Structure 1
Amino acid sequence: MSRIVYVNGDYLPEEEAKISIFDRGFLMADGVYEVTSVLDGKLLDFGGHAARLERSLTELDMAAPATTEELLEIHRALVEKNGIVDGLVYLQITRGAPGDRDFAFPDPATTPSTIVLFTQNKPGLADSPQARAGIKVISVPDIRWHRRDIKTVQLLYPSMAKMMAKKAGADDAWMVEDGYVTEGSSNNAYIVKGGKIITRQLSNDILHGITRAAVLRFAREAQMEVEERNFTIDEAKEADEALVTSASSFVMPVVEIDGVALGDGTPGRVARRLREIYLDESRKTAI
């Protein structure tokens, strides 16, 4: 049975889904996206993803093609139509296809945006063997544009960073700018030293992660110490443990950075506990 996707108001088999070759998302990466996790058939942190989507659209002066309530209905419909128990719902909105290719874009009030959603089936998403083993990361220069707080579809360099890691025998890459770690290729980065959780403060330099916000809130509620500040890659190599967070991996322990093992080379106590708390608490509020 073909996967059902959503394109501009229609639910379609994926083979029939099409957008214009003049869509600005295709021509200029002029679009934003969100990824919402599904556990036990329910959406995690949907409200946070919807709020960040609205912010991204506003920052780029892009028209919203649907209300939050309509987006929730579409998400739920796709989960049901595709029989997703554990997995992801990917949403992308572009500025649409106003006409022929042009750097200047039209008034958002006169050109409808393009909206696309599809699901990915990920059985056992919460019980990841990788989370039990931990991941290895390498450091790479951060040469992206400086509005990383907007979740755009400009993902070429993060994709290249993932491939650099793969070629180096690692799982992911941490990006470094002016000597400091910004974030992972598709996640927020943390170190743990003396039981303290350290992660870069929010700014235009990093994505304002929805999972990040939840994890830090849960950590503080559990009386864990959190410090939001810059840290260097050398400091990270000397940390007791490290981790990343994202909607698709939740809390993922990091056990090696640039070939240097952290602690005993296995997932640390804090990372394991944060993952447990995040999954437990998120399931309670899933919709």
Structure 2
Amino acid sequence: MCDLTKGGYVTTLVNPYVKFVKDLKAFFEARPDLIQRTLSNVFSMRMIGNKTHGDLAEVAMAEFIQLFVPGYSARHVGKDMYRAKSHEEDISVKTPDGTELPISLKAYGDGPLQLSTNKTSSMFKLLSTQPDRISDTEKIREILTSPAFADFRQINVLPLIYDEKKMRCNIMIFDAGRAMDSVTSINLVTAGSGRKHPVYRFADASGNYVCEVRYGDEAANALQRGLWTHTKNALQCFSSLTGWIQYSTNTTVIDLVGAALVADKPEQKAALQLLEKESKKDLLE
């Protein structure tokens, strides 16, 4: 697994995001206890529902950055702002120099990972005008730098990956620049693994899987369209910020959510102030 925070391919990512990733990794290394407990709380939400953890992960990581990471502030963008979003983002992070970073947070199981939701299906439509197999390097570069792939090039993705069977999780960064530079072939795949819709699969010179563009027509789920990769099959394209860390289910946080939902606002504010005070004390330890 490559290390995006030093040397080599670090320059293939957007510079302010690279700096943020580097600082985030340094903080995780300095205080692994804080990220471990945060992720344990996040993935405990799966006891409420299979998708509950995803939305709460956005809230939790925004709060984590805001409260703990020196020099940075963050806010959860929220679904009510969806139509006003200029980027595909869940969290907005402000860097020490005032730069605003839109970040798309993905909480997925160890396996398929959606990198970009291409709702207009521009990627698939472009590829469908090409031969079923593309191996010409210049043509591949032309495709990857085309307006159809512009949305993906502008996204900073922060994946929170979990392995529920082994009760472990990992914050892994997909180095899009390195991945796309490694692509030497794009192939149309129409069959296998119970496939209902065709995909365009990207591979490197050794035939290793890099990523794929899924679906495209009206019969496909619009939210499933776009660019996907795989945390196991494309491991060479990822860098870990935390390594695999064990997490445990915390039933107390579930009880706390329930209690907060039935409490009135003054009680909620009092509890919030207490929690923030205790968290800040933890940072000083």
TM-score scaled to structure 1, two decimals? 0.30
- State the structure with bigger RCO (CA 8 A, min sep 6), 1 or 2: 2
- Select the structure that is richer in strand: 1
- Select the structure that is richer in helix: 2
